[in-house]
């Protein structure tokens, strides 16, 4: 055994290596923060924020009559906790607009003759339209519907007519899965993936922009020459718009050919929105590169931003299923807004007015990140 | 007008004062050597002068532009060669020079690049990747890149570190050629022979400017006396002399020993017994620039530790 310690393996040497690694780990503060931050963030986000059976989804009610049966039906739906009627639409067209812009997940239509038909003993109908662009988000609400509605009707009639027999099996609930009648989850995932892929590659590549110069020692020279911070920033991020354009083309073509994802809306509208999104991403990456001192740190910061983007943006789990604080966090991620845009344009055929707010928010991110990067950029070596 | 005129520059990093009230004047067309031990503040001072660092105190003008407010104008008229090679190793010599030419908005780009390549004998290596160049060629590329826009002032930070003697000689010939054309040069160095090729030198130590002037002036003003001892077993003599009152430096130079002190009488007294020995000769010698610098270094306190 003496030979082993002197030759191939020595605990003393191992100790020296371990000590050195720990010292370096402790000195690199960002890495150290990541080691604690990432597991904690994952735990909290996965644990508290994610809910694959979202409740209290915004819904619009189209009801023209105000009879007791209609009221009973509405309150029964509300009592399931799945539906939250915060829009009362006068017409079907108005409700349609609310759904296209993503303000509501459901439109419940109770016909004007609902009460009369119940009273007359005829089979009444109600229509539930669900936004099925994310099939998993609406499935719980849709599946409980039939029994809840029938029970409510029975109870309402029980008070009025005192005869449960009459209504049995008479209510007909018509469910329309809008935009995605077959409930194919790829319709939801594939357009979202474009956003995720862009987010990952664009931010990662640009986050190295300045750290690479600093690590190779070329930064000092660059700063000594007459280039302004804005010139350096644009020079660093614009090439990645080209990379982004290539990725967008590949993903859009593949989504058509491989997955047969429908594309209902305007391509030029979507491309314009993608441009704003990619600009926000490259500027975010550039901002990271003004903070990180090494490429390793830049990678870690990118990942730190990437994780909540996947979990809280509505890409993996229904946005509306998350608690308020998680939704608020989701709102400050560019990906959240981009997902709304691309799903609306590709699957719902949304026009510019329906996505104007989301595009505006992305525009705000562009301005914010550009400002932050220019503020953070050090023109000197101080 | 002086090319550089700065007064009482102060730069602190944390609680360390790296540049401590440095005042410096460099006349137009002059080659000034900037000397001092490692960590003495040479690089920091040069970086302040080319606008890469803002001084905490003090002010000055570089090429008539205010140091604090006219950074961009200074950058356009100054050529700064960094201590570490800082061009793009994954670009060729030609591509690096084109990049620099376009940043300075030199037109036509091709003409400026071709002229610069030609002047520095780089034309045949134009398509070689900068990363594959040896130290001497990298230095030549760096010099080419920082004189291409015809700066009025050249700031060189230890330009010849790690370069062989022949390349160093050629580099200095080039510097003198440029100075004859009216260019002002401030060059930091550790080499005594390079210091002697400068019109004037400035010596900085731990952030403080200790001496300025021509080499002869600096040596004379140091007021040192030097004796040259020769004979057998000089190592024993050196050991015996070390620490005697009046003896401030004992340094072997080839087959002789230089004994240096600032008080001539004390030094002579210290050498009296050795002078008495038959086999040893003690003669007055000329104080060298190096002796002066060693003296400076020994005399200044290290505030870096």
Per-residue model confidence as pLDDT tens digits over A335-345: 999 999 999 99
pLDDT computed for residue B150 by the predictor: 92
What secondary structure does DSSP assign to chain B, as a single string?
A: -EEEEEEEEEEEETTEEEEEEEEEEEETT-EEEEE--TTSSHHHHHHHHTTSS--SEEEEEETTEETTT-HHHHHHHEEEE-SS--S-TTSBHHHHHHHHHHHTT-SSHHHHHHHHHHHTT-GGGTTSBGGGS-HHHHHHHHHHHHHTT--SEEEEESTTTT--HHHHHHHHHHHHHHHHTT-EEEEEES-HHHHTTSSEEEEEETTEEEEEE-HHHHHHHHT-EEEEEESS-HHHHHHHHTT-TT--EEEEETTEEEEEES-HHHHHHHHHHHHT-SS-EEEEEPPPHHHHHHHHHHHS-----
Model confidence over B49-101: pLDDT tens digits?
988 899 999 999 999 999 988 888 999 999 999 989 999 999 999 999 999 99
B138 lies in the same domain as B259: no
- Statement: residue A155 has pLDDT above 50: yes
A73, part of any domain: yes
Separation CA A67–CA A116 (nearest Å): 9
Model confidence over A41-92: pLDDT tens digits?
878 877 888 887 788 888 898 877 888 888 888 888 888 888 888 888 888 8
Number of domains in chain B: 2
Top-confidence residue, A82 or B109: B109
B13 interfaces chain A, CB cutoff of 8 Å: no
Mean pLDDT, residues A226-241 taken together: 90
B239 lies in the same domain as B130: no
State which residue of chain B sits closest to A380, comparing Cα positions. B52
A246 lies in the same domain as A338: yes
Is B54–A382 a contact, with Cβ atoms under 8 angstroms apart? yes
Domain endpoint, select from A162, A178, A194: A178
DSSP symbol at A169 = T
A28, part of any domain: no
Sheet holding B256-261, edge to edge: B249-253, B256-261, B225-230, B281-285
Model confidence over B79-89: pLDDT tens digits?
999 989 999 99
Domain endpoint, select from B166, B195, B219: B219
State both tokens at A261.
């994802």
Residue B10: phi, psi to the nearest 5? -130, 135
Separation CA A353–CA A133 (nearest Å): 19
Separation CA A230–CA B40 (nearest Å): 34
Model confidence over B168-221: pLDDT tens digits?
898 999 999 999 999 999 999 988 888 989 999 999 988 888 889 999 999 998
A169 lies in the same domain as A78: yes
A228 lies in the same domain as A279: yes
Nearest to A381 among B47, B72, B85 (CB): B47
B271 lies in the same domain as B178: no
Q: Are A340 and A102 in contact (CB under 8 A)?
A: yes
State both tokens at A109.
């239509």
CB pairs under 8 A between A and B: 48
pLDDT computed for residue A160 by the predictor: 52
Is B104–A226 a contact, with Cβ atoms under 8 angstroms apart? yes
Over chain B, what is the mean pLDDT? 89
A31, part of any domain: no
Torsion from C-alpha of A140, A145, A146, A152, nearest 10 degrees: 140
Is B103–A227 a contact, with Cβ atoms under 8 angstroms apart? yes
Instruction: Report the residue of B11, B13, B18, B47 to disrupt the A interface, i.e. the one with the largest count of A CBs within 10 Å.
Output: B47
B87 lies in the same domain as B190: yes
A125 lies in the same domain as A250: no
The nearest CA of chain A is from the CA of B79 a distance in Å of: 8
DSSP symbol at A321 = G
pLDDT computed for residue B78 by the predictor: 94
pLDDT computed for residue A25 by the predictor: 84
B72 lies in the same domain as B133: yes
Answer whether the bond into residue B99 is a cis peptide, omega within 30°.
no
SS3 A182: coil
Model confidence over A281-316: pLDDT tens digits?
999 999 999 988 888 889 988 988 898 898 889 888
Q: How many CB atoms lie within 10 A of CB A12?
A: 7
Domain endpoint, select from A178, A202, A233: A178
CA B185 to chain centre: 11
Q: Which helix (H) or strand (E) holds A60?
A: strand A57-63
What secondary structure does DSSP assign to A70-118, as a single string?
A: HHHHHHHHHHTSSEEEEEEESSHHHHHHHHHTTS-SEEEEE-TTHHHHH
Bridge partner list, B209? B204
pLDDT computed for residue B4 by the predictor: 94
Q: Residue A14 — very low, low, confident or very high, per pLDDT cuts 50/70/90?
A: very high
A121 lies in the same domain as A196: no
A202 lies in the same domain as A343: yes
Top-confidence residue, A237 or A381: A237
Instruction: Identify the weakest region by mean pLDDT among A168-172, A187-191, B165-169, B233-237.
Output: A168-172
Q: Output the pTM of the full model.
A: 0.81
How large is the greatest C-alpha to C-alpha distance in chain A, in angstroms? 100
B299, part of any domain: no
A21, part of any domain: no
- Among residues B277, B250, B90, B157, the alpha carbon closest in space to that of A221 is found at B157
Tell me the CATH number at B261.
3.30.70.330
Is B52–A216 a contact, with Cβ atoms under 8 angstroms apart? no
B236 lies in the same domain as B280: yes
pLDDT computed for residue A195 by the predictor: 94
B88 lies in the same domain as B138: yes
B167 lies in the same domain as B261: no
Mean pLDDT, residues B123-145 taken together: 91
Tell me the CATH number at A160.
3.40.1710.10
Q: Are B89 and B131 in contact (CB under 8 A)?
A: yes
Q: Are B27 and B200 in contact (CB under 8 A)?
A: no
Q: Are B260 and B287 in contact (CB under 8 A)?
A: yes
Which residues in chain A have Cβ-Cβ distances shorter than 8 Å to B72? Answer: 226, 228
Instruction: Report the residue of A208, A223, A226, A228 to disrupt the B interface, i.e. the one with the largest count of B CBs within 10 Å.
Output: A226
State which residue of chain A sits closest to B12, comparing Cα positions. A382
B85 lies in the same domain as B13: yes
Full domain range(s) for residue A112: 57-178
Sheet holding B78-81, edge to edge: B78-81, B153-157, B184-189, B31-35, B200-205, B208-213
B214 lies in the same domain as B230: no
B293, part of any domain: no
- Among residues A318, A357, A319, A313, the alpha carbon closest in space to that of A335 is found at A313
Top-confidence residue, A276 or A28: A276
Q: Are A289 and A302 in contact (CB under 8 A)?
A: no
pLDDT computed for residue A6 by the predictor: 62
Instruction: Report the residue of A221, A231, A234, A378 to disrupt the B interface, i.e. the one with the largest count of B CBs within 10 Å.
Output: A221
Pairing status of strand A172-178 against strand B2-13: unpaired
Instruction: Report the residue of A220, A224, A235 to disrupt the B interface, i.e. the one with the largest count of B CBs within 10 Å.
Output: A224
B58 lies in the same domain as B146: yes
- Statement: residue A363 has pLDDT above 60: yes
Provide the angle, in degrees to the nearest 10, between the axes of the packed helices B135-147 and B109-119: 130
B71 interfaces chain A, CB cutoff of 8 Å: yes
pLDDT computed for residue B300 by the predictor: 64
Tell me the CATH number at B153.
3.40.50.300
Mean pLDDT, residues A117-129 taken together: 84
How large is the greatest C-alpha to C-alpha distance in chain B, in angstroms? 75
B126 interfaces chain A, CB cutoff of 8 Å: no
B52 lies in the same domain as B66: yes
Full domain range(s) for residue B80: 2-219
Model confidence over B233-291: pLDDT tens digits?
888 888 888 888 888 888 888 888 889 988 888 888 888 888 888 888 889 988 888 88
Model confidence over A310-350: pLDDT tens digits?
888 988 888 888 888 889 999 999 999 999 999 999 988 88
A147 lies in the same domain as A205: no
Instruction: Identify the weakest region by mean pLDDT among A159-163, A198-202, A205-209, A266-270.
Output: A159-163
A295, part of any domain: yes
pLDDT computed for residue A356 by the predictor: 93
B126, part of any domain: yes
Q: Are A167 and A247 in contact (CB under 8 A)?
A: no
Domain endpoint, select from A128, A151, A178: A178
A194 Cβ neighbours under 8 A, 6+ residues apart = A247, A248, A251, A252, A255, A274, A342
pLDDT computed for residue A35 by the predictor: 79
Q: Residue A173 — very low, low, confident or very high, per pLDDT cuts 50/70/90?
A: confident
pLDDT computed for residue B11 by the predictor: 94
Radius of gyration over every alpha carbon of chain A, rounded to an integer in angstroms: 28
pLDDT computed for residue B55 by the predictor: 92
Separation CA A248–CA A271 (nearest Å): 9
Q: Residue B301 — very low, low, confident or very high, per pLDDT cuts 50/70/90?
A: low
How many CA atoms are closer than 13 Å to the CA of B246, on its beta-carbon side? 14
DSSP symbol at A47 = I
Is B86–A382 a contact, with Cβ atoms under 8 angstroms apart? no
Which residues in chain A have Cβ-Cβ distances shorter than 8 Å to B49? Answer: none
Q: Are A229 and A311 in contact (CB under 8 A)?
A: no
Q: Are B228 and B250 in contact (CB under 8 A)?
A: no
Over chain A, what is the mean pLDDT? 86
B72 interfaces chain A, CB cutoff of 8 Å: yes
Separation CA A79–CA A58 (nearest Å): 14
Number of domains in chain A: 2
Separation CA A210–CA A46 (nearest Å): 33
């Amino acid at each position: 055994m003496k030979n082993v310690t002197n030759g191939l393996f020595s605990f003393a040497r191992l100790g020296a290596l371990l000590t050195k690694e720990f010292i370096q780990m402790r000195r690199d503060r960002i890495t150290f923060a990541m080691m604690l931050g990432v597991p904690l963030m994952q735990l909290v986000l996965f644990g508290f924020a994610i809910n694959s059976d979202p409740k209290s989804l915004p819904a619009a009610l189209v009801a023209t009559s105000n009879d007791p049966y209609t009221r009973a039906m509405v309150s029964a739906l509300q009592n399931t906790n799945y539906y939250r009627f915060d829009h009362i639409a006068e017409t079907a067209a108005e409700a349609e607009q609310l759904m296209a812009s993503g303000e509501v997940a459901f439109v419940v239509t109770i016909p004007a003759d609902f009460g009369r038909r119940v009273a007359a003993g005829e089979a009444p109908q109600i229509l539930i339209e669900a936004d099925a662009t994310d099939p998993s988000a609406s499935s719980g609400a849709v599946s409980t519907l039939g029994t809840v509605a029938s029970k409510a009707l029975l109870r309402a009639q029980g008070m009025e007519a005192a005869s449960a027999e009459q209504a049995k099996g008479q209510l007909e609930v018509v469910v329309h899965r809008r935009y995605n009648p077959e409930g194919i989850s790829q319709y939801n995932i594939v357009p979202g993936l474009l956003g995720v892929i862009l987010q990952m590659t664009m931010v990662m590549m640009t986050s190295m922009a300045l750290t690479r110069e600093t690590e190779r020692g070329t930064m000092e020279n660059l700063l000594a020459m007459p280039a302004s911070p804005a010139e350096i920033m644009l020079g660093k991020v614009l090439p990645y718009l080209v990379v982004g354009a290539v990725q967008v083309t590949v993903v859009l073509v593949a989504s058509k050919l491989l997955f047969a994802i429908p594309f209902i809306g305007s391509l030029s509208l979507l491309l314009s929105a993608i441009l704003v999104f990619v600009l926000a991403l490259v500027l975010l990456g550039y901002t990271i590169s003004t903070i990180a001192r090494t490429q390793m740190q830049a990678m870690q910061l990118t990942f730190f931003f990437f994780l909540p983007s996947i979990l809280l943006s509505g890409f993996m789990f229904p946005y509306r299923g998350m608690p308020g604080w998680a939704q608020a966090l989701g709102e400050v991620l560019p990906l959240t807004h981009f997902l709304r845009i691309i799903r609306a344009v590709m699957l719902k055929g949304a026009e510019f007015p329906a996505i104007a707010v989301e595009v505006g928010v992305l525009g705000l991110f562009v301005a914010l990140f550009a400002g932050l990067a220019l503020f953070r950029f050090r023109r000197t070596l101080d | 007008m002086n090319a550089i005129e700065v007064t009482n520059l102060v730069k602190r990093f944390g609680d360390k004062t790296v540049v401590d009230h440095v005042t410096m004047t460099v006349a137009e067309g002059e080659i000034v050597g900037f000397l001092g031990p490692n960590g003495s503040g040479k690089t920091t001072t040069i970086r302040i002068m080319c606008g890469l660092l803002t001084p905490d105190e003090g002010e000055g003008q570089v090429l008539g532009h205010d140091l604090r407010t006219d950074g961009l104008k200074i950058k356009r008229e100054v050529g700064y060669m960094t201590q570490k090679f800082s061009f793009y190793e994954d670009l060729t010599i030609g591509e690096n020079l084109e990049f620099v030419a376009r940043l300075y908005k030199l037109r036509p780009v091709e003409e400026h690049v071709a002229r610069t390549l030609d002047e520095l004998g780089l034309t045949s290596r134009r398509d070689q990747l900068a990363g594959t160049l040896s130290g001497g060629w990298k230095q030549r590329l760096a010099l080419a890149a920082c004189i291409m826009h015809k700066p009025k002032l050249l700031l060189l930070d230890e330009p010849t570190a790690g370069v062989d003697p022949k390349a160093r000689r050629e580099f200095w010939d080039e510097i003198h050629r440029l100075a004859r054309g009216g260019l002002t040069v401030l060059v930091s160095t550790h080499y005594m022979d390079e210091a002697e090729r400068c019109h004037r030198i400035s010596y900085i130590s731990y952030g403080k400017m200790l001496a300025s002037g021509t080499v002869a002036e600096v040596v004379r003003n140091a007021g040192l006396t030097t004796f040259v001892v020769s004979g057998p077993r000089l190592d024993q003599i050196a050991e015996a002399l070390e620490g005697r009152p009046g003896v401030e430096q004992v340094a072997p130079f080839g087959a002789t020993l230089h004994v240096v002190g600032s008080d001539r009488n004390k030094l002579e007294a210290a050498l009296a017994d050795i002078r008495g020995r038959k086999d040893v000769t003690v003669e007055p010698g000329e104080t060298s620039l190096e002796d002066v610098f060693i003296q400076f270094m020994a005399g200044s306190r290290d505030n870096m530790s």
